[in-house]
Structure 1
Amino acid sequence: EALPPHLAAARVGRAAQGPLAGLTVYEGLHDPRVAELLLERLRNPGSWGPLRFERARPIPAALSGKLLDAEQSNSSLVYGDARGEAVHGDAYILKILRRVFPGPHPDLELPLALAAEGCDRVPAPVAWFEADDPTGSDDTLTLGVLQPYLRGSRDGWQLALAALGADREFTSEARALGRATAEVHLALAAALPTVTLGRAQTAQFADAMTARLDVAAQAVPALMPYVPGLRTAFDALAGLDEAARGPRSAAGTPRPPPYRRRCFSRRPPSLTCPQRR
């Protein structure tokens, strides 16, 4: 059976064997019916076959989904009205995760952790769906995450390229991006467990950054004046653990190493999620 015209571009092929033998296979996210069904399940959390749908807050009805055609690391559906606009200010993006693995997924775990800390720099998840690990472990597989859609937003790299192309100053935007990044990292450090890195690990990070700096400077000679200062900063990073052992507090006890790394292996105890049904 031929696909309707609006799904012709989504055709994958015709199955020659197996349970789908003789049927036409197509990319389901191009089908408005599939997009509508996914959102309806997210609006009404619970189990549906092997899938479990969770919801953090109510989702409006009568939203139409449209697959983003831009190349991304995940497949994304944007939900708005029939014209793709927001309905009463509500628009959402459903990220269907292509890289699936057992355990907490950073695309869900980190925004939830930031929301728990009151950090609004990243849109908080509205709903998500998961499945049990088919290998039989107690872990779940996160398959998709629904978040508010920031229409017209651009990432920092795009902003920097646009400023460069227009020969425009980017200093104020860079500072704003730095402040936002700092807020996110501080919130993550407060929400998630951390481990202290030793000298060998910080040195490894510093070596990797130095190697990337050398490659970048060779490719873009205009960066050469900044290389000495950056190398000094990277050397300071490599010596953080050693420096932390030297100075002592007024009480004579060693000061704790200042460089810590967040662990994303589990959700923090303070983070509450809707119970599964």
Structure 2
Amino acid sequence: MRHTLEELLAGWITHQRWFAGKGRAITELAVEAATTLPLRGPAESFHSDVAGSCGTTDRRRPPTDDRVTVRHLVITVRQDARTDRYQLLIGFRPELPQRLKHVAIGETPDGHAYDAVHDAEVTGLLLSGIASGADIGGLRFRHMPGIEIDTALRSLVLGAEQSNTSLVFGDAYICKLFRKIVPGVNPELEVVSALAERGSPNIAKPYGWIETDIGGENTTLAFTQEFLPTASDGWALALTSVRDLYGSLPGTTAAEAGGDFAAESTRLGMATAHLHKELAAAFTTSTVEAPEVKRMVEGFRRRLEAAISEVPGLAEHAGVAHEAFDRLADTGRPITVQRVHGDYHLGQVMRTPGEWVVLDFEGEPGQPLQERRALDSPLRDVAGMLRSFDYAARHLLADHPEAKELEPLAAEWAQRNRAAFIAGYSAGGGRIHGDDAVLLRALELSKAAYEVVYEARNRPSWLPIPLAAFSHDLS
């Protein structure tokens, strides 16, 4: 039985990792915009209105079946009073080859529909469009000035992402498709482009992007950057260090273990301080005056009380948090704010042979775009990284038979690397002295209260990790 594409998508989308409306029934799904993308012909067949196109020759290999079509869709999904937009790349074939059976959507009057981001025979059109500066229907493909793009590279979908889909082309480019679309320029494109103009060594080189107009606003659909095939993920490096410590001989300290991470934590702190200085230079800065700081503290208190109402066990730690909040409210001094990363942790940084590189400047995907672009204290990023060190040290202890014996080592590793990161941040020009330390402590405990709720909902065995934040000092 054949169904309309909308009917098939309504059933299919609820099973996708990037779908934000899981657990709620879909009341309506509609196609807001549909653009058929060209699969054949040289790059010159793309109509370009962009001066200075790099003129890269299109060396894509077209699909073996000339009856294949690909459509770019913007759909709206209504779930009761909530409506969200999503971006899809849907392919249609008379028959699906075995390699695409796992991404089948269903049979339509136009053929078998499937998620075409997994089809390396057709995804090259994204690179070709960016390379040529194409305009296709309502879609605009753009590239950075003076760059060259190899359009012959085949793509592979990265499987770890939750809210977006990224395609890696060869070992050269990574193209992130923002699945849930919010009208406006995505902060990642905005921030990375600005930092690239300043020659920042702490970002992956930007190559281009895809955009369209939604609700009268220029809206980012995808962003392509340099892929870093020889870089190591910060979270993975930290876990290697923790495992090395846990496997060491009895009596071995974190400083003595072969996989000591402290030197890298120091370098990461310095890179973070440099990044914050570049962000302050590239964008505007402002000041939050003392009365507004007090209102910010009241927001911390409300979120803490909401967390306690959901996780009553947090109540015994509330005094520690309120004391930190009181100290911040009593400082009576303004706070300097600027553009920040907004979702900073070990999983957002990569160690290349020469430097730490920071990824994913889009902020918390679930937050409104205005909040993700808002100015904030750079110490919010610092607090996020400090929480990440705690998680790296302790999450392996969840359900571990020797957790009690290993806990002192976890605490030592976390404190050592937290202190090293802060030392590096200070050495790089970041300030964490006096009232700065008071603000940092309040930000970290507010973050920990959020984590308590998250773990209670999703990973109850991890609850001890954020709860431990209420017992240790800043350093």
Q: Give the TM-score of the pair, scaled to structure 1.
A: 0.69
* Match of residue 58 from structure 1: 148
What secondary structure is seen at the aligned counterpart in 1 of 2:148?
coil
The one of 100, 105, 121 aligned to 1:7: 100
Ranked by relative contact order (alpha carbons within 8 Å, sequence separation 6 or more), the top structure is 1
Gaps of 5+ in 1: 16-20, 81-85, 244-256, 267-277
* Match of residue 262 from structure 1: 339
TM-aligned CA distance change 1:129 to 1:205, over 3 Å: farther
CA drift at 1:8? 0.9
CA drift at 1:186? 1.2
The answer to whether the 8 A contact 2:157-2:166 is kept is yes
The answer to whether the 8 A contact 2:95-2:111 is kept is no
CA drift at 1:149? 0.3
CA distance in 1, matches of 2:277, 2:191: 12
In the alignment, residue 156 of structure 2 is paired with which amino acid? K
CA distance in 1, matches of 2:328, 2:336: 8
The answer to whether the 8 A contact 1:206-1:237 is kept is no
The answer to whether the 8 A contact 2:283-2:338 is kept is no
What secondary structure is seen at the aligned counterpart in 2 of 1:129?
strand
TM-aligned CA distance change 1:178 to 1:4, over 3 Å: same
TM-aligned CA distance change 1:54 to 1:237, over 3 Å: farther
CA drift at 1:121? 0.4
* Match of residue 48 from structure 1: 136
The one of 142, 145, 163 aligned to 2:223: 145
Alignment of 1:1-277 (within 5 A): 1-15=94-108, 21=109, 23-56=111-144, 57-80=147-170, 86=171, 91-133=172-214, 135=215, 137=216, 139-167=217-245, 168-203=259-294, 204=296, 208=300, 237-239=328-330, 242-243=332-333, 257-262=334-339
In the alignment, residue 148 of structure 2 is paired with which amino acid? P
What secondary structure is seen at the aligned counterpart in 1 of 2:212?
strand
TM-aligned CA distance change 1:181 to 1:132, over 3 Å: same
Moved more, 159-168 or 124-133: 159-168
The answer to whether the 8 A contact 1:199-1:239 is kept is no
TM-aligned CA distance change 1:10 to 1:164, over 3 Å: same
Residue by residue, what CA displacement relative to the aligned partner does 1:166-191 show, whole Å, maximum 9, x if unpaired? 21432212111111111111111111
Residue by residue, what CA displacement relative to the aligned partner does 1:120-172 show, whole Å, maximum 9, x if unpaired? 20113111110111x2x2x2110111100011434433332222122143221
What secondary structure is seen at the aligned counterpart in 2 of 1:33?
coil
What secondary structure is seen at the aligned counterpart in 2 of 1:34?
coil
In the alignment, residue 130 of structure 1 is paired with which amino acid? E
CA distance in 2, matches of 1:261, 1:236: 23
CA drift at 1:22? 5.7
In the alignment, residue 259 of structure 1 is paired with which amino acid? T
What secondary structure is seen at the aligned counterpart in 2 of 1:104?
coil
Gaps of 5+ in 2: 1-93, 246-258, 341-368, 374-475
The answer to whether the 8 A contact 1:130-1:140 is kept is yes
CA drift at 1:13? 2.1
Aligned length: 225
What secondary structure is seen at the aligned counterpart in 1 of 2:123?
helix
CA drift at 1:236? 5.8
CA drift at 1:102? 1.6
In the alignment, residue 25 of structure 1 is paired with which amino acid? A
TM-aligned CA distance change 1:69 to 1:109, over 3 Å: same
The answer to whether the 8 A contact 1:195-1:262 is kept is no
TM-aligned CA distance change 1:178 to 1:75, over 3 Å: same
CA distance in 1, matches of 2:176, 2:304: 34
CA distance in 2, matches of 1:29, 1:150: 21
TM-aligned CA distance change 1:70 to 1:206, over 3 Å: same
* Match of residue 385 from structure 2: none
Moved more, 168-177 or 51-60: 168-177
